[in-house]
Amino acid sequence: MNIEPSSRRALVTVIRPRNASRYAPLTSWLLTLPLLATFAVGFLYPVSKLVALSFASGSESYLRLWGEPLYLSVLTTTAMTAAAVTVFCLVLGYPVAFAMTRFKGKAAIITAACVFVPLWTSVLIRSYAWIVLLQRNGIINDSLQGAGLTEQPLKLLYTQGAVILGMTHILLPFAILPIYATLRTLPPDFARAAANLGADRARTFMLITLPLSLPGVFAGGILCFVLALGFYITPALIGGPGSMLMATLIGQQTTVLLDWPFAAALSTILLTFTLIIVFLFRRALSLSKGFQSVH
Residue 58's pLDDT is what?
78
For the segment 82-88, the average pLDDT, to the nearest whole number, is: 94
d(CA 250, CA 263): 5
Q: Which residues have CB under 8 Å from 222's CB, separation 6+?
A: 277, 278, 281
- 155 domain residue, yes or no: yes
Query: Is 45 inside any structural domain?
Result: no
pTM: 0.80
12 in any annotated domain: no
Q: How many independent structural domains does the chain possess?
A: 1
**260, 268 Cβ separation under 8 angstroms:** no
Asked whether residue 282 is domain-assigned, the answer is: yes
Q: Name the 3-class secondary structure at 137.
A: coil
Q: Is residue 228 part of a domain?
A: yes
Distance of alpha carbon 192 from alpha carbon 28, whole angstroms:
44
In this prediction, residue 80 carries a pLDDT of 93
For the stretch 95-136, pLDDT in tens is 999 988 888 888 888 888 888 888 888 888 888 889 888 888
Q: Is residue 28 part of a domain?
A: no
- Three-state SS for 193-244 is HHHHCCCCHHHHHHHHHHHHCHHHHHHHHHHHHHHHHCCCHHHHHHHHHHCC
Q: What range does the domain containing 243 cover? A: 59-294
Whether residue 205 has pLDDT greater than 80 = yes
Specify the CATH number for the domain of residue 113: 1.10.3720.10
Residue 239 pLDDT > 70: yes
Burial class (CB in 10 A: 0-12, 13-18, 19+), 37: exposed
d(CA 228, CA 165): 12
